[in-house]
């Protein structure tokens, strides 16, 4: 009797688990089914096919040697039988069989298993708005849709597009359409900001500004009500605030885990529909494994069950399941939530909780943002980087960090360093202040920005640094008639001159040097709002002003942060 | 009575500790002395001044706002009194004074302290070879020397230079001289490889090849015996193997900690001369702190006392000392040894132990190297990256990782992620296999190279993957008449064709597909040496051949690694 493994789902985790198991246990009899035609493709690459950066759709399902990963490839090279266009209808756990249906012939059969793997993935959340079934309305999870979208662009059929959802895929697709095809794009997002849940409202404005610079509109806090068509093809999107012409509408409003099959088989499923697994990636039935986008996994920061549908997690979990299928003992502890996205000029990257999410989870948290160059300030090539660190107040525990920079790899380096610490310990601020990252002038500052943001947070917690985000600072400036704050621009005169001349009674160009030496008198008893270029000089000035009895509020990241959110005095 | 803090040494740690203390405790009376003229400069930037990438020597001692950090700056802006050109002669711990001498006037005085900070740094190791005091012989730790070297280059006085020592600074200076000024450089190194101690012999060959490509010679395993001069100026370097003409000789043969003052004062000093400190950075006298290049710190990997003179560590330790001087409670646990260096086309970066160092420390360790693209293989911009992971066999504990890539920031991201884990936990292979790094196609592969190298190591420890480094493989090929190995190039025919035609009886182009399907017969009982492009295909082929009873040795990193060491079949 051969050892039978059945895998349902053939995109990322399924093929990985099947191939790994077969490598370790050549005698295993492994079958993989998938209801679609294409299997084993890099779904995360679809926006780059739409943009044209990837020339051929088949590149997404090819090995680095351009061999297409089709059923024949898996049969010949991996020893895995693949039945595509075959849907799993029901699991009979007692008989250990899965009833499947060939979608081409309509034929049904029961496939036996000793071990079953659920790699059923997730489906795009499609709000049931009228018109969602018109032509020209897509999601970007299947290769077929990406092909249709690119062709429509190539043929010049798309002048205007609306993307519903400002998450990773929505933004990547908007960049692809606007940057490469010159399509006039609008992004409609129900939540009040870009990248909700992964970026703070503060840094979300940096992403929004990057889009605005490239003439892509964000309509946040806005809901799509219906789509209108002409001759069966979409032509208009009606939101609760406006009407938008569009020949192409893309829904990228998140994912729903495909846990139905598991649920119907009586397996434990989380309230949001994902299959619950233990650290061996086994469902509540130890003969049934689940992983990837269909399954719930522990969030290592909050300790709660969470969900993170990412191709990278699916691949790593696939290897773990493959090892365990073959009798091994491999475990997956959970996720800390690292991510990266490249927009137009800026890349964004993060790990763990945002400040908003942390507070929602009940943490008494604070976030601190800094602007600093990514390498030694005397090194010729360098980029201004923004990092925001989220910290629990009492314990000083670090809950997350997010960042923005034009240099994506340099940003990734800072985020991944903190991600590594978060994954295997519970770091405090002091641990990040001492984080030992690789240093030489072409790579980092001697006091690197990842240390600097922790140092700044330390100063905030100690009450030495009373902060305003760039947008809070601009809000204070706007309302200066009411709040009566005394605004000081602590940059050298050359930096503050233009604004000080423009607002002679309101914007005071008093340099850090003048504040420290007391060369310029500051009216007694005034409350001060301080800003400089990046926040370094204003911090030194703040200490002096506080000692003189002033209440000070200090702009985090200075004018650099203000510029990145598109603010202007 | 004011609280008196005296700091000896003004380059990196000293000014940091002084400024931090003063910010926290404005009433403190802080004096900093330094025997040199210049203080608070970025010594790590000197090679980039020599190259001309940094235009002005003063940029290295300027704030980001181009204010020069001279004694006046510290007095006015930081509230720290600086006495430069003032040497500390002796510490009187009972009287709590330091005897100092003004090197200009010759005047001596006793400076009192409540707390003393030793930031005395290190001096370049100058082998006492005859001629080391000739003109044109320098080390690159002081601003003055860098100025002289650059000027000599600018004036066209340097045609040939010899650099003694193939560590970080030696290599950075060689790159500066060769790349920017067209100087014909030779590097003489006593140890048998480049970057000894931080790169494996295997990856050291990649650095050597990068140098060879740019016509800089490495003379490894070679010792400088004496320098010869003409009219007081160096003109020749005599080693135990050759004579080299040179108008410029730079000693970059490591550093000796300046622990003499501490030793003479009866403080505990390590056998190699560095001041021993506790986790608060206090010496054996709790009123005397020490940090930076003069002090010994625990190696968190080995648990032994070690030494790592890096500006980044000095800066972080300086803040810790500053906090503690002001009554705080800040600690420094030790170092894992992260580093980065940019050579010509390649950057190198690492953390923890190399395989050679691990074995020397008594670990039963193995190292595994892979070649993989730094981002999704379907993404248009990408770079081949090399990573080598060092693992203890029984415990599966990760002891270090080093890498090489043309994309420095992308490499730093992988190293820093592992550095973060190493610093705050004792990761196993499996932890690195599951390391959750930020993923999107423009940043990483779904199964990123940092996970892949751990997976490869897992396969090695399980006996599924029997490895040879690129140079070991080339050695096997060279000795094929004796070892009788059956060499298989498992790339697709297009890749293996040229070599198979060149060596029809010895180099067998049999693709992975042919091996897996058994389409080409391989003689029974032969032992096989396998290679492909990066190692992926040969791994799959190896599993099949092993099952057929062959003993297989498999080239790690394939032809990519062979090319990077400049090997050719």
- Least Cα separation, residue A242 to chain B (angstroms): 33
> What is the value of ipTM here, to two decimals?
0.96
- Average per-residue pLDDT in chain B? 96
- Which site among A80, A383, A436, A548 would you substitute to test the B interface, given the most B Cβ atoms closer than 10 Å to its Cβ? A436
Query: Could you give the CA distance from residue B303 to residue B399 in angstroms, rounded to a whole number?
Result: 12
Residue A569 scores a pLDDT above 90:
no
Q: Please, which pLDDT band fits residue B127 given cuts at 50, 70 and 90? A: confident
Strand pairing report for B486-489 and B528-531: parallel
Do the chains contact at A340 and B444, CB–CB below 8 Å? yes
pLDDT at residue A191 in the model:
97
- Average per-residue pLDDT in chain A? 96
pLDDT at residue B569 in the model:
86
Domains of chain B with bracketed CATH: 4-122+256-325 (3.50.50.60), 137-253 (3.50.50.60), 346-459 (3.30.390.30), 467-564 (3.40.250.10)
- Overall pTM > 0.95: yes
Burial class (CB in 10 A: 0-12, 13-18, 19+), B39: buried
| pLDDT tens profile B137-184 | 999 988 999 999 999 999 999 999 999 999 999 999 999 999 999 999
Average the pLDDT over B21-30 and give the result. 97
For chain B, percent helix, then strand, then coil, each to nearest 5? Answer: 35, 25, 40
Residue A565 scores a pLDDT above 80:
yes
Average the pLDDT over A516-530 and give the result. 95
Do the chains contact at A312 and B419, CB–CB below 8 Å? no
Average the pLDDT over B90-99 and give the result. 98
Query: Could you give the CA distance from residue B547 to residue A22 in angstroms, rounded to a whole number?
Result: 13
Which residue of A335, A407, A491 is in closest CB contact with B436?
A335
Do the chains contact at B53 and A331, CB–CB below 8 Å? no
Query: Could you give the CA distance from residue A185 to residue A169 in angstroms, rounded to a whole number?
Result: 14
Q: Which residue of B lies nearest to A43 if distances are taken between CA atoms? A: B441
pLDDT at residue B64 in the model:
80
| pLDDT tens profile B270-320 | 999 999 999 999 999 999 999 999 999 999 999 999 999 999 999 999 999
Given a contact cutoff of 8 angstroms between Cβ atoms, the answer to whether A553 and A527 are in contact is: yes
φ/ψ bin of B169: left (φ > 0), alpha (ψ from -120 to 50), beta (otherwise): alpha
Determine how many CB atoms are found less than 10 A away from the CB of residue A425: 14
Average the pLDDT over A155-166 and give the result. 97
Strands (DSSP E) found in B330-489: 338-342, 347-352, 365-373, 384-392, 398-405, 467-468, 486-489
Average the pLDDT over B411-421 and give the result. 98
- Least Cα separation, residue A92 to chain B (angstroms): 32
Average the pLDDT over B436-463 and give the result. 97
Average the pLDDT over B219-223 and give the result. 98
Q: Which residue of B lies nearest to A495 if distances are taken between CA atoms? A: B65
Do the chains contact at B338 and A433, CB–CB below 8 Å? no
pLDDT at residue B568 in the model:
86
Burial class (CB in 10 A: 0-12, 13-18, 19+), A269: buried
pLDDT at residue A66 in the model:
83
pLDDT at residue A127 in the model:
87
Residue A1 scores a pLDDT above 80:
no
Q: Which residue of B lies nearest to A349 if distances are taken between CA atoms? A: B438
Measured in whole angstroms, the distance separating CA B198 from the mean position of its chain's CA atoms is 6
Torsion of CA A413, A414, A420, A422, to 10 degrees: -160
Whose tokens are 């010949």? That residue is A76
Sequence-ordered list of residues with C-beta below 8 angstroms from that of A210, at least 6 positions apart, any chain: A343, A344, A345, A346
Q: Which residues in chain A are contacts of B350 at CB distance < 8 A?
A: 438
Residue B236 scores a pLDDT above 80:
yes
- Least Cα separation, residue A95 to chain B (angstroms): 34
DSSP string, B68-95: B-SHHHIIIII-EEEEESEEEEEEETTT
Active site residues of B: 44
pLDDT at residue B116 in the model:
98
């Amino acid at each position: 009797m051969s050892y039978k493994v059945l895998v349902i789902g053939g995109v990322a985790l399924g093929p990985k688990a099947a191939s790994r198991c077969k490598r370790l246990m050549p005698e295993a009899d492994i079958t993989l089914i998938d209801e679609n035609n294409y299997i084993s493709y890099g779904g995360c690459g679809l926006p780059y096919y739409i943009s044209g950066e990837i020339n051929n759709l088949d590149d997404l399902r090819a090995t680095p040697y351009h061999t297409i990963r089709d059923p024949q490839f898996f049969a010949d090279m991996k020893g895995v039988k693949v039945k595509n266009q075959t849907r799993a209808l029901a699991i009979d756990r007692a008989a250990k069989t899965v009833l499947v249906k060939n979608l081409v012939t309509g034929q049904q059969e029961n496939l036996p298993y000793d071990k079953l793997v659920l790699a059923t993935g997730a489906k795009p959340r499609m709000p049931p708005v009228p018109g969602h079934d018109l032509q020209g309305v897509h999601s970007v999870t299947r290769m077929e849709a990406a092909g249709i979208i690119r062709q429509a662009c190539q043929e010049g059929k798309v002048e205007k597009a609306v993307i519903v959802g400002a998450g990773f895929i929505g933004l990547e697709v908007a960049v692809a359409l606007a940057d490469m095809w010159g399509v006039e794009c609008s992004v409609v997002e129900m939540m009040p900001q870009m990248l909700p849940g992964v970026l703070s409202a503060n840094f979300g404005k940096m992403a929004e500004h990057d889009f605005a610079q490239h003439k892509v509109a964000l309509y946040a806090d806005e809901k799509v009500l219906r789509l209108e068509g002409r001759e069966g093809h979409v032509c208009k999107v009606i939101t609760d605030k406006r009407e938008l012409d569009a020949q192409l509408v893309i829904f990228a409003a998140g994912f729903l885990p495909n846990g139905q099959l598991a649920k119907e088989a009586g397996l434990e499923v989380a309230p949001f529909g994902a299959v619950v697994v233990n650290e061996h990636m086994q469902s509540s039935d130890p003969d049934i494994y689940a992983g990837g986008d269909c399954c719930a996994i522990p969030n290592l920061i909050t300790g709660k069950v969470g969900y993170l549908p990412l191709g990278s997690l699916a691949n790593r979990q696939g290897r773990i399941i493959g090892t365990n299928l073959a009798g091994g003992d491999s475990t997956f502890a959970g996720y800390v939530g690292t991510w990266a996205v490249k927009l137009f000029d800026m890349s964004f990257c993060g790990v763990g909780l945002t400040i908003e999410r942390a507070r929602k989870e009940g943490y008494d948290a604070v976030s601190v943002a800094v602007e600093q160059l990514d390498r030694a300030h005397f090194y010729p090539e360098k980029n201004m980087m923004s990092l925001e660190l989220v910290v629990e107040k009492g314990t000083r525990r670090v809950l997350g960090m997010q960042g923005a920079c034009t240099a994506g790899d340099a940003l990734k380096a800072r985020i991944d360093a903190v991600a590594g610490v978060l994954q295997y310990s519970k770091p405090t601020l002091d641990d990040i202040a001492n984080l030992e990252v690789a240093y030489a002038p072409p790579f980092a500052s001697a006091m690197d920005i990842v240390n600097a943001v922790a140092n700044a947070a330390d100063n905030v917690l100690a009450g030495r640094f009373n902060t305003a985000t760039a947008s809070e600072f601009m809000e204070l400036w706007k309302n200066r008639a009411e709040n009566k704050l005394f605004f000081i621009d602590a940059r050298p005169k050359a930096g503050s001159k233009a604004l000080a001349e423009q607002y002679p009674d309101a914007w005071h160009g008093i340099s850090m040097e003048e504040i420290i030496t007391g060369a310029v008198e500051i009216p007694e008893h005034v409350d001060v709002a301080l800003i400089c270029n990046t926040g370094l000089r204003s911090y030194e000035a703040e200490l002096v002003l506080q000692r003189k009895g002033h209440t000070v509020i200090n702009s985090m990241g200075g004018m650099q942060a203000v510029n990145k959110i598109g603010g202007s005095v």
